[in-house]
A and B are shown apart, each in its own frame.
Chain A
């Protein structure tokens, strides 16, 4: 037989052979640690912009974990490569390896060291967590509503927050009553506005299924749970615009429930806009928007247009409407709807059809489309509440779409 079948009966290797000397262990250990640090340092930033105080801490934690993980990876793969090269069976060698069953010291070392590593990671993560959770005084609090498939951000006008040039007695009666009521007067916007350098809190409520409110640049995320109100807070440290994304599967439009950029580089949908300071915030956003709501246009069609632009209702996600820059592709096109609505269901005028398609969208489905539109209910407290005054204005506006 020309094959080598020698068994290694002798458990001892020749002196100075394969046994690891301490020097090699130290070299390998240092190489591993240095390699891990190198990996963590040279990895380019794979985070979005670091735009919040929380982000700084999260990113540092990640770099540390990447260094540790990189070192472990180098250790395991390094050993694998070494083993593949050094201990491969040469052609024709059908002998077995040495009958070594274990080494208690080594096994204790590779139990204790990983335990220490995860302990360190746990403590460091805990510290970051406590630091992020410690609430500073809240200077700006906004209520966010998630509904399939768009975000709406609700701001409150109270007598203390009136724009500079406005006094209570300038307001029409129902509006004045709303402003002076306990809850204040509400207006909504498709975008979330705040200003730099102070903690803001967002309360989160869903109209339908679970969603999740995620701002990658801030490194914060919180689920919206049906039947509950949750909240999240964060401290922006850079002015700018940051995408807001839904991060919990909510249905067919889940991917659409995020900020996008339109043809003219205009922001559509959910974005966080961080103004450099409170003065700019008031001047560029709060006061103009508040004024629109405090002095609404007489013409119901203009009022309806204002409501739709304010994104209190998620229509933009699903419908195309050139006048407002909507490019949604889930529901029917609304261009020229003022004329076409009369042709949809025989016996219904355009006005009646439009009202019904908002209050009872399931009654008639445009051919080719599925029954996905939320039903906007008339009673406060019901899901997807749309008061009759808003409905009248919206329908009035849609009826003007006749091009």
Chain B
């Protein structure tokens, strides 16, 4: 909500740093620049992957193949849609948030290893180039899951090999970033900030980073075997020469299930921050939220074969059902804790809060469908159908992307020094929420009725539902342009934000917007409780931050911040 105080006359406010586009186009070891580089690159790939989704939904308006030239071209669409959304949008975007915010939240000047940080980002550029180059060499077409022998003997283009190399680079980038986060969080917290005094977003990044360093090497192993089978004549996955196709499935999913928590845990961290600030209330159950992130990280390693219920040894289905059911409990704790945070608060319907509320209502559906999928007899029917596509989009879009949007609206003022127009934000939310729900909810139904996934051709009786889904998807696609417009408008002519437009207690707000190169003016002292809203001392702290670092433009004046310095009004 708008800031409510003005600096005392005569107080000297540091000038906010001016951003220059050229700063972001070259190598820099400043975590804030790297963070923006990650986020801007990731957002570009979000648009690319979204365009592919629009092509998929256009094709699925009819039950026959009439948009793409052949089935292979269609298979390439969803292969690249998923690969790009997972590896070039969500994972790097979350890394971008982490990069920008973690040092600031900890009062540090930068990450523990700034040079390594820059390297991790720049690995994404050749990875993205390889993914796109695949189109010129026979693009990958075996799905983002790349099961052999389809992805080995039966994929003759080189695009599948480029895909594997691109994922190798992205995996290295991910691991380097994770090491950086773990060391930064362990070693660079300020005096007085124990683990249980740090913001929940930092807990989320810590849990995510632990998953990354433990799981990603397995993906690297699987990719290496795939590349060797494709180019070096090995037979790891060729049964006719002693290989085994299930080895790929097991090793791939051993990484890829924890990967889904890599994609959603930082979103959980963003939720905690946004809900608390925009409801003006402490997070309910801080310890439970912190420890449940760790529990999810650990338990996430025990469930992988639930992706393989129809291909794995039948006797092992039940143990994986048990572990998959268990992981619902820490996730449920989080949802209830967030509801507890809202209860009794003072809820401001900023775009950030709207997307957080959208997350809560949509992610719960994804969680419920996830528990259903854990039930083996039901999963046998819906595995590899649109029911799974629906579930994954409820948790990845209704979950992660909504959280990313909430985070963008929340931290945009800090990063750019400008506000995003709230009315455009509300329009963006409305279009996204409606478009999202009607795109993905009907997919539960069409999957249960008998429509498999990864097809361009389907039984004619499913056409009506598919048309509804596609039209809603086009609306969802259009909603993205509202955000793009709002971002452009903000950068060119947005209201100046001031240091702490949301009156938040975490340390990233105790500096100008954007922060100076060294992050803080003087030595930052964290407020004793990052979520201590509702107390007199919190009020005084926030007043002090406004006094020291300046407030933004209000609706009733257009005077920019510097002119307030020394003025007596």
Contacts and interface: CB of A to CB of B under 8 A. Distances in A.
A61 B377 contact: yes
Nearest to B237: A226
A398 B284 CA distance: 75
Interface string B416-451: 000000000000000000000000000011001110
B131 to A, nearest CB: 19
Interface stretch (A115-123, A190-198, A275-283): A115-123
Most chain A CB atoms below 10 A, which of B311, B337, B342, B385: B311
A69 B65 CA distance: 36
A111 interface: yes
Interface in B469-522: 503
Contacts of A106: 340
Contact of A246 (B245, B348, B452, B531): B452
A18 interface: yes
B279 interface: yes
A245 B538 CA distance: 62
A101 B284 CA distance: 5
B82 to A, nearest CB: 12
A258 to B, nearest CB: 7
B188 interface: no
Given A62-B378, A97-B533, A122-B325, A110 B70 contact: no
A198 to B, nearest CB: 21
Contacts of B532: 99
Interface in A79-109: 79-80, 83-84, 87-89, 93-103, 106-107
Contact of A210 (B150, B325, B444, B457): B150
Contacts of B325: 118-119, 121-122
Nearest to A260: B459
Given A73-B368, A228-B239, A252-B71, A126 B538 contact: no
B288 to A, nearest CB: 6
Contacts of A330: 70-71
B5 to A, nearest CB: 8
Contact of A251 (B150, B335, B343, B459): B150
B348 A110 contact: no
Interface stretch (B206-214, B224-232, B326-334): B326-334
B346 A96 contact: yes
B368 A210 contact: no
B561 interface: no
A343 to B, nearest CB: 24
Interface stretch (A3-11, A26-34, A157-165, A180-188): A3-11
Contacts of B70: 252, 330, 370
B458 interface: yes
Contacts of A245: 450, 452
Contacts of B361: 76-77, 80
Interface residues of B, number: 99
B284 A222 contact: no
B371 interface: yes
A86 to B, nearest CB: 9
Interface string B99-126: 0000000000000000000000000000
Interface string B1-26: 10010000000000000000000000
Contact of B310 (A121, A208, A212, A216): A212
A253 B372 CA distance: 30
A240 interface: no
Q: Most A CB atoms within 10 A — which of B148, B328, B329, B381? A: B381
A191 to B, nearest CB: 16
B376 A18 contact: no
A221 B224 CA distance: 31
Contact of B345 (A77, A97, A111): A97
Interface stretch (A127-135, A136-144, A301-309): A127-135
B539 A7 contact: yes
Nearest to A214: B452
Contacts of A115: 329
A238 interface: no
B27 interface: no
B201 to A, nearest CB: 17
Given A76-B361, A94-B4, A330-B71, A110 B332 contact: yes
Nearest to B448: A46
A183 B49 CA distance: 52
A248 interface: yes
Given A80-B339, A83-B342, A96 B75 contact: no
Contacts of B75: 249, 251-252, 254
B344 A122 contact: no
A98 B534 contact: yes
A77 B363 CA distance: 11
A227 interface: yes
Contact of A79 (B310, B339, B380, B459): B339
A26 to B, nearest CB: 18
Interface string A153-186: 0000000000000000000000000000000000
B286 A87 contact: no
B147 interface: yes
Nearest to B241: A227
A267 interface: no
A29 B149 CA distance: 51
B393 interface: no
B547 interface: no
A97 B279 contact: yes
Contacts of B239: 226-228
Interface in A366-388: 370-372, 383
A58 interface: yes
Nearest to B5: A1
Contacts of B74: 252
A7 B340 CA distance: 20
Contacts of B369: 69
Contact of B346 (A48, A89, A101): A89
A100 B282 contact: yes
Given A76-B339, A97-B279, A219-B380, A371 B156 contact: yes
Contacts of B342: 80, 83, 87
A79 B12 CA distance: 46
Given A76-B361, A80-B357, A223-B311, A89 B452 contact: no
Interface in A206-244: 208-210, 212, 214, 216, 219-223, 225-228, 243
A7 B457 contact: no
15 contacts: A7-B538, A18-B344, A80-B360, A88-B346, A89-B347, A93-B346, A101-B531, A102-B286, A102-B287, A121-B375, A126-B321, A210-B147, A221-B384, A247-B310, A255-B458
Given A212-B383, A212-B384, 8 more contacts: A65-B375, A100-B284, A212-B310, A219-B380, A225-B311, A227-B244, A249-B454, A256-B71
